[in-house]
């Protein structure tokens, strides 16, 4: 497969069972073969998208000293600002050429769960930054819920199987700034080849060239969404849970050609994580004689901890 398939969530949400099944078949096939889809019909209004881009550009243009006030020690970069070059891909010593921000879960009706997560960090210099971030978080979380419902049905599970695990889950919204490149990067990329940790990732800002996905032949293909689409991919947690039936695909953000080094790039992934105690044990109905169990039993919290250490975000 050399092109990212496009699907429309409106089909899944429609009252027409044939349209709903068509969506389930299309997204299921895409995630079994390439691990990515471009999704139309999501819950993000254009106005909200424009407001978010405006706010994050304003934030990343703040003086470095101001941004660094919002880098909180001791929480593994889970909330607030993470400065340039801090994160590196698994197995890579060079830091990625990016800085980013983390919005986390807004816990509802669960005081114990709220204690588990660091608090969101408020930016004093920008009056709308946090509110716009929260609204975007909620709309992406809502979109992700219905994508996971379609995947539950594809995996022959009850439609709302994932709902209990994603409510108040440890999901992260990450606005990323890839600054202009000043000097020849020595082995570093804007985002080195990696797989995502979580259940699924919803990506805003994949309209320009840069994001590439590795297909099963090992070829890198450009993943570009239309302006009204989100790019959505399977993460390692869902790949484990489905015994690799759904594929967590390696992807990267390449450096631009030299004539475009002077430009910034922005992208905004939403990493859909479950609650920490969700068991990622391989689903029984994904095991058969041709596909024996490939992964050890582990919880989502244990798996996340392992991966944050590998990424250099926790010591």
Element (H, E) at 68: helix 64-68
pLDDT confidence bin for 184, thresholds 50/70/90 = confident
**The whole model's pTM is what?**
0.91
Instruction: Please list, in sequence order, all residues whose beta carbon lies within 8 angstroms of the beta carbon of residue 206, skipping any fewer than 6 positions away.
Output: 223, 224, 225, 229, 231, 267
Strands 230-234 and 36-40: antiparallel
For 105-138, write each residue's pLDDT tens digit: 999 899 999 999 999 999 999 999 999 999 999 9
pLDDT of residue 249: 86
DSSP 168: T
Q: What is the pLDDT of residue 90?
A: 62
Closest CA to 100 of 195, 191, 201: 191
Residue 254, strand partner residues = none
pLDDT score recorded for residue 315: 64
pLDDT at 169: 97
Cβ neighbours of residue 218 closer than 8 Å, sequence gap 6 or more: none
Instruction: Give the number of other CB atoms < 10 A from CB of residue 99.
Output: 22
| pLDDT over 90 at 308, yes or no | no
Closest CA to 248 of 288, 216, 274: 216
On the CB side of 240, how many CA atoms lie within 13 Å of its CA?
20
Distance between start and end Cα atoms, the chain? 39
Among 60, 246, 283, 252, smallest CA distance to 150 is for: 246
pLDDT score, position 212: 87
Reported as a single tens digit per residue, the pLDDT across 215-255 is 778 888 888 888 899 999 999 999 999 999 999 988 887 77
List C-alpha distances in Å: 299 to 5, 25, 273, 276. Answer: 31, 29, 12, 7
pLDDT at 188 over 60: yes
Mean pLDDT of 86-93: 59
H or E element in which residue 49 lies: helix 46-60
Q: Which pairs with CB-CB distance under 8 Å and at least 24 residues apart come from 158-167?
A: 162/199, 162/274, 165/274, 165/275, 165/278, 165/300, 166/141, 166/199, 166/272, 166/273, 166/274, 166/275, 167/275
Are the C-beta atoms of residues 268 and 57 closer than 8 Å to each other? no
**H/E element holding 268?**
strand 265-272
What average pLDDT does this structure show over 164-173? 96
Helix (H) or strand (E) segment spanning residue 239: helix 236-241
CATH for 6-311, options being 3.40.50.720, 2.40.110.10, 3.40.50.2300, 2.60.120.330? 2.60.120.330
Mind listing the pLDDT tens digit for each residue in 147-156?
999 999 999 9
Cα distances (angstroms) measured from residue 297 to each of 77, 78, 169, 198: 26, 25, 20, 16
| pLDDT range class, residue 202, cuts 50, 70, 90 | very high
Question: Residues 84, 101: contact at Cβ < 8 Å?
Answer: no
Given a cut of 60, whether residue 141 has pLDDT beyond it is: yes
Q: Which pLDDT value is given to residue 248?
A: 92
């Amino acid at each position: 497969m050399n092109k990212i398939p496009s699907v429309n969530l409106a089909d899944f949400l429609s009252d027409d069972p044939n349209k709903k099944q068509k969506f389930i078949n299309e997204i299921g096939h895409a995630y079994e073969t390439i691990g990515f889809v471009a999704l139309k019909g999501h819950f993000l209004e254009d106005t909200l998208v424009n407001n978010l881009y405006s706010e994050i550009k304003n934030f990343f243009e703040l003086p470095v000293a101001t941004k660094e006030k919002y880098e909180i020690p001791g929480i593994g970069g889970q909330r607030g600002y993470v400065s340039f070059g801090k994160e590196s891909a698994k197995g890579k010593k060079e830091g990625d050429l990016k800085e980013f921000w983390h919005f986390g879960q807004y816990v509802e009706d669960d005081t114990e769960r709220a204690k588990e997560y660091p608090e969101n960090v408020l930016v004093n210099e920008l009056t709308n930054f946090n509110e716009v971030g929260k609204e975007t978080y909620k709309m992406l979380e809502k979109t992700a819920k219905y994508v996971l419902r379609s995947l539950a049905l594809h995996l022959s599970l009850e439609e709302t199987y994932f709902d209990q695990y994603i409510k108040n889950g440890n999901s992260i919204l990450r606005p990323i700034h890839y600054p202009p490149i000043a000097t020849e990067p020595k082995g570093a990329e804007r985002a080195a080849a990696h797989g995502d940790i979580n259940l699924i990732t919803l990506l805003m800002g994949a309209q320009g060239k840069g994001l590439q996905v590795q297909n099963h032949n090992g070829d890198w293909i450009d993943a570009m969404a239309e302006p009204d689409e989100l790019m959505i991919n399977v993460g390692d947690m869902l790949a484990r849970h489905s015994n690799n039936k759904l594929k967590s695909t390696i992807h990267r953000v390449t450096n631009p050609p030299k004539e475009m080094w002077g430009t910034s790039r922005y992208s905004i992934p939403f990493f859909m994580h479950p609650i920490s105690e969700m068991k990622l044990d391989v689903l029984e109905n994904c095991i058969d004689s041709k596909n024996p169990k490939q992964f050890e039993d582990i919880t989502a919290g244990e798996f996340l901890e392992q991966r944050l250490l590998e990424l250099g975000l926790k010591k």
